[in-house]
Every structure is written in C-alpha cells, then in structure tokens.
Amino acid sequence: MQKVSFELSGEFVELNQLLKLVGLCDSGGAGKMMVAEGGVKVDGKQELRKTAKIRAGQQVSVGDVRISVVGV
C-alpha cells in the first residue's frame, strides 16, 4: 500500500480537491467521478459525497493508496 501525507493549511479540504492535489486525478471533476464510482473511503467507510469536508486526522483510501491528512 502506498502512503501519502497531505498537509492541510486551512480548516478542511473538499474530497474531490484532495484527490486532485495529491495527484490521483487531473481535475476536481475527475475527482468527483472517482467518488461517484464508489472507490473512495474516508476513515474506512465508503464516501459518496463528492465535496465532503476532509479535516486533519482523517484518512482517505483509494485503491492501494492511503492519504493521511495532517494539520500544519
């Protein structure tokens, strides 16, 4: 499993934007499609809200990639 750490500078980041910012997709729209297809988990649970607010301390999984969101 590939582990990626994302430093959160604000209060939250929208899920589709997080996927774009870590390089898992080319655009926010492509991120929304990934979420809609059901392949994204937040803290181990499937997440279907494309713009879910992801905060520091949460983990997002897509396939074999795990993104840890950390506060600055």
Going from N- to C-terminal start, the domains of the chain cover 2-71
Rounded to whole angstroms, the Cα distance separating 37 from 48 reads 8
Could you tell me which of 36, 30, 34 has the C-alpha nearest to residue 63?
Answer: 34
Q: Just give the CATH number of 2-71.
A: 3.10.290.10
Residue 72 has pLDDT above 90, yes or no: no
pLDDT at 8 (0 to 100): 96
pLDDT at 13 (0 to 100): 97
The region, left, alpha or beta by phi > 0 then psi within -120 to 50, assigned to residue 28 is alpha
- Model pLDDT for residues 14-62, shown as the tens digit of each residue: 999 999 999 999 999 999 999 999 999 999 999 999 999 999 999 999 9
